[in-house]
Amino acid sequence: MKMRWGAGILAAAMLFIAQPQAQADEVISPDIYQWVQSTSRQNYFFNKQHIYFGQDDKGVLDANVILVPVLKTYDAVQIQDVQAKRRWKMLSMEGYEDLVGCAEYLRFDLAADTVTVYKHEDLDSEWGVLGTTTNSKPVKLADLSEKDVDGVFYRAILKYANAHIDEMVERTEKQKNAKLNDAAKKKIAELKNPAEKKTDKDAKADKKDKKDKKDKKKH
């Protein structure tokens, strides 16, 4: 039995096909998917109704982590490229004549300034999952130039997240049963107002300077 792409995500989506952005908006629900960009090979979307903060092993909301599924649709050249690479690697080609795009699952670590594509799923025209690969290697966002296609995509997602923090907190609490503690609330406040984080850092720096001066006087 063919595995289906994320049931909750699929239920919220409409049909999609690989085609230019002007038409893509007509077949992918803008209420669910946020279009970011289109290149000559792919259209890039992220699911704005399934973007969450992470959780630690105790179920406490982790505001340093953002989780989001994304969708990419391919043109004919990209499809042929994916197929050719699979043949070269001697991987199964079953169903790949109907390849139309992929779903990827991203994990942003705000403290480390990294993003990890921890799962990639090739999709057919009926949302069936043709193949799945996993990955645990993070990519430094600072290493991606301003013109890098993936860099542009990732920064657009973070910009959206930064503008919808309260919405993401509420969604993570209600749908993922995350708990909020004082540390999480403090981090959320810092995300909403970076000046608070700076003030806290300045206060710690001042405290350290005073301690260093005091230690010097003792010697």
How many Å apart are CA 67 and CA 6, to the nearest integer? 14
Q: Where in the sequence is the domain holding 119, given as residue range(s)? A: 7-180
Task: Judge whether 51 and 33 are in contact, CB under 8 Å.
Answer: no
Task: Judge whether 96 and 83 are in contact, CB under 8 Å.
Answer: yes
Residue 92 in any domain: the answer is: yes
- Axis crossing angle, helix 182-192 with helix 165-176, rounded to the nearest 10: 150
Residue 189 in any domain: the answer is: no
Residue 25 in any domain: the answer is: yes
How many Å apart are CA 180 and CA 174, to the nearest integer? 12
Residue 112 in any domain: the answer is: yes
Residue 185 in any domain: the answer is: no
Residue 83 in any domain: the answer is: yes
User: HEC profile for 116-152?
Assistant: EEEEEEEEECCCEEEEEEECCCCEEHHHCCCCCHHHH
Q: How far is CA 131 from CA 40, 102, 103, 208, in A?
A: 24, 10, 11, 53
Burial class (CB in 10 A: 0-12, 13-18, 19+), 58: exposed
Q: Number of structural domains, the chain?
A: 1
Query: Rounded to two decimals, what is the model's pTM?
Result: 0.81
Q: Where are the beta strands (DSSP E) in the chain?
A: 33-38, 42-47, 52-55, 61-74, 99-109, 114-124, 129-134, 139-140
**pLDDT in tens for each of the 219 residues of the chain?**
456 555 444 444 433 433 433 344 446 788 899 999 999 999 999 999 999 999 999 999 999 999 999 999 999 999 999 999 999 999 999 999 999 999 999 999 999 999 999 999 999 988 789 999 999 999 999 999 999 999 999 999 999 999 999 999 999 999 999 999 999 999 999 999 987 665 555 555 556 565 655 666 665
Residue 132 in any domain: the answer is: yes
If you ran DSSP here, which 8-state letter would residue 18 be given?
S
Q: Name every residue whose Cβ is closer than 8 Å to that of residue 37 and which is 6 or more positions away in sequence.
A: 43, 44, 149, 152, 153, 156
Residue 198 in any domain: the answer is: no
